[in-house]
Structure 1
Amino acid sequence: MQKYVIYTRVSTQEQGRSGLGLEAQDRDIELFLSQFNDKPYSVLERCTDVLSGTNDDRPELDRALGVCRKTGATLLVSKLDRLSRKVSTISAIMDDKKVKLRVAQMPYADKFQLHIHAALAEQEREFISARTKAALAEAKAKGVKLGGLRDATMKRNEIVKANAAARAEKVAGIVLPLREAGEPLREIANRLNEAGVATARGGSWQASQVKRVLDRLESR
């Protein structure tokens, strides 16, 4: 029988109390267990941390890993970033010979693919951070005062635009060649889903989302 230890994480005390984020993770995990698990299974433990993804002090993750090492159970998470937002931390877990890892949203991914995904996600966060800082600096140079209700809204809009542009750049290497080859929007969305590339909200691609990405890339 396949044994699992389930680990979930949310970033703030508010999310931990309200269940925001945890319910979505639980849904992903239950979907994996019901549709992508090919043998009878049992869940030995469910461990949850309410901490930032950059915080390395994770008592519940440590407990989950301890149970995996002791019992041979597989550590199951909904998304890779629930383990950590640091590729070094994720790599250390994957390199542990006593720990097997499965990610619900990437049910067929092997260790190599998970490592690449973690590295790309870290690069994306660094790029988004740099793009956001550049956008805010440009707004400031134009005389936009980043304070008060109206200015706070403008600041949020700048950040949203910068983040959207960064995400578009990330998939440009896949989307543009396919579009130039005459592939329809729906087929490009299918290709992105097959490659395991998630949308900004961690979901599946649709033709309308591909169209928005192409529009952003064309307006560069």
Structure 2
Amino acid sequence: MKHYVTYKRVSTSEQGRSGLGLDAQERDIQLFLETYSDVPFEVLGEFTDVLSGTDDERPELAKAIELAKRTGAELLIAKLDRLSRRVSFISALMEDSKLSLRVAQMPYADKFQLHIYAALAEQERDFISKRTKAALAEAKRRGVVLGGMRDATMKRNEAVKANAQRRAEKVEGVVVPLRQNGLSLRAIAEELNRVGVKTARGGQWQASQVKRVLERLDAS
């Protein structure tokens, strides 16, 4: 029998309370188990951390790794960045000969391929950071008042945020009870469409829009 230990992580307390970030990871993990796993299989343990993406001190991950190594189970995660965004951290785990790692979104990837993916992802993030700094430096050289731009942007963002919050509160009485009764984001969207509730732009609801509404309500 194939054995797994699953691990999930969200980076904010809001995501942890709402369960929205965890839902997506759980869905990917279940899809892997139902579609790609050897059968029969058994999940020996499930672990979840609610911590910053830059914090590599993760108590639940440590427990998951210990159980996986002790039992010979595979450590199953939804996405590689749920372990860490640092290639050095991921590399150290992959070099552990006693630990077998599986990523649900890349079901056939071996350790070598996962290491390359992590390295490329880190390079991309570094490049984006440098590109942003270069663009800001060029704007400053041309005399653009960056602080003024930020102030205007912040005011505009605050107005957009306030409008979004008001729209979320209008559908709170429908969305929250449905979620509490265990309906998926897609099912809630379908129910809103069925009863004729329109989005802010007068369109049809999608699962992603329901997710944003719940996140706003949870953070308020």
2:201 match = none
CA radius of gyration, larger in:
2
1-side partners of 2:136 and 2:70: how far apart?
Answer: 49
Q: Once the 2 structures are TM-superposed, how far is the Cα of residue 39 of structure 1 from its aligned partner?
A: 1.8
- Normalising by structure 2, we get a TM-score of 0.66
2-side partners of 1:66 and 1:132: how far apart?
Answer: 40
Compared CA separation, residues 127 and 153, structure 1 to 2 (3 A):
farther
Deviations 1:65-96 (A, max 9, x none): 01011111110000101011111111111111
Higher mean alpha-carbon deviation, 100-109 vs 18-27, is at 18-27
Residue 110 of structure 2 corresponds to residue 110 of structure 1: yes
Residue 146 of structure 2 aligns to a residue whose secondary structure is coil
1:144 match = 145
Deviations 1:38-72 (A, max 9, x none): 22111111111111222121100000001011111
- Following superposition, which runs of at least 4 residues in structure 1 exceed 6 angstroms of deviation? none
Q: Once the 2 structures are TM-superposed, how far is the Cα of residue 120 of structure 1 from its aligned partner?
A: 0.3
| RMSD after superposition | 1.9
Question: Retained in 2: the 8 A contact 1:8–1:49?
Answer: yes
Question: Retained in 2: the 8 A contact 1:75–1:100?
Answer: yes
1-side partners of 2:33 and 2:87: how far apart?
Answer: 26
The higher-RCO structure (CA 8 Å, 6+ apart) is: 2
- Normalising by structure 1, we get a TM-score of 0.66
Question: Retained in 2: the 8 A contact 1:78–1:105?
Answer: yes
2-side partners of 1:126 and 1:46: how far apart?
Answer: 32
Question: Retained in 1: the 8 A contact 2:2–2:38?
Answer: no
Compared CA separation, residues 153 and 114, structure 1 to 2 (3 A):
farther
1-side partners of 2:100 and 2:125: how far apart?
Answer: 26
Residue 56 of structure 2 corresponds to residue 53 of structure 1: no
Q: Which runs of 5+ in 1 are unaligned?
A: 156-220
Number of aligned residue pairs: 155
Q: Once the 2 structures are TM-superposed, how far is the Cα of residue 154 of structure 1 from its aligned partner?
A: 9.1
Q: Once the 2 structures are TM-superposed, how far is the Cα of residue 153 of structure 1 from its aligned partner?
A: 7.7
1:85 match = 85
1:67 match = 67
2-side partners of 1:102 and 1:82: how far apart?
Answer: 12
Q: Once the 2 structures are TM-superposed, how far is the Cα of residue 146 of structure 1 from its aligned partner?
A: 2.9
2-side partners of 1:91 and 1:67: how far apart?
Answer: 20
Matches within 5 A, 1:172-191: none
2-side partners of 1:35 and 1:12: how far apart?
Answer: 30
> Percent identity of the aligned residues?
65
Deviations 1:88-140 (A, max 9, x none): 11111111111100000000001110000000011011111111112222233
Matches within 5 A, 1:189-208: none
Q: Which runs of 5+ in 2 are unaligned?
A: 158-220
